[in-house]
Amino acid sequence: MNKTREKAGDEFVMFQLFNEIGIISQLSTSLFEQGLPDGLSNSQFGVLNWFIRVDAQATPGRLAKAFQVTAGAMTNTLKKLEAKELIKVEPDESSGRKKKVTITAKGREMRNLAIAGTAPLFEEFARVFPAAKIEKQLKELEKIRQYLDQRRYL
């Protein structure tokens, strides 16, 4: 096989990878949302989960960048979370204009409740795809995520 054809084959494989990831993302998001507590959207859960995974506080701008959404979209999500008392938005003492966002105890409980509500989905999935097989793929998927996460800042 010549180099040009080989390269085109690699590009097709990469396209297939991202295509499959995209479809899996859509399907899994839809299933995941079915297990979320009433009134909690996937984007709202994502923000609550971000506070547990990444940092205890953030500015709305930092969250918008992390989720790659507009400031307006993030503000809308934060207002909904704040109305449910799942987060607290208050002025940042170090800046007159900035705000700081933190998760509340109720927000932590809701995040945990959301995960518990999706447990049946994960149990069913584990019966079809044993954890030992998934663990092998996770390492490569984590590398892909880390690469793409770093690349977005270029």
Tokens of 27: 């399907």
Residue 62 has pLDDT above 90, yes or no: yes
Q: Tens of pLDDT along 118-143?
A: 899 889 999 999 998 899 899 999 99
Q: How far is CA 114 from CA 37, 47, 79, 90, 108, in A?
A: 6, 12, 19, 25, 10
Q: Tens of pLDDT along 5-53?
A: 556 688 999 999 999 999 999 999 998 898 899 889 999 999 999 999 9
Q: What whole-number percentage of the chain has pLDDT above 70?
A: 95
Alpha-carbon span 68 to 51, nearest angstrom: 16
Strands, sheet with 99-103, edge to edge from the N-terminal-most edge strand:
57-58, 99-103, 87-91
Partners of 91 in beta bridges: 99
Alpha-carbon span 20 to 29, nearest angstrom: 14
Residue 144 has pLDDT above 60, yes or no: yes
Q: How far is CA 46 from CA 49, 51, 53, 138, 145, in A?
A: 5, 9, 10, 20, 16
What DSSP state is assigned to residue 37?
Answer: P
Residue 95 is predicted with a pLDDT of 76
pTM: 0.78
CA atoms within 13 A on the CB side of 129: 9
Residue 62 maps to which CATH number?
A: 1.10.10.10
Q: Which residues span the domain enclosing 108?
A: 3-151
How many domains is the chain built from? 1
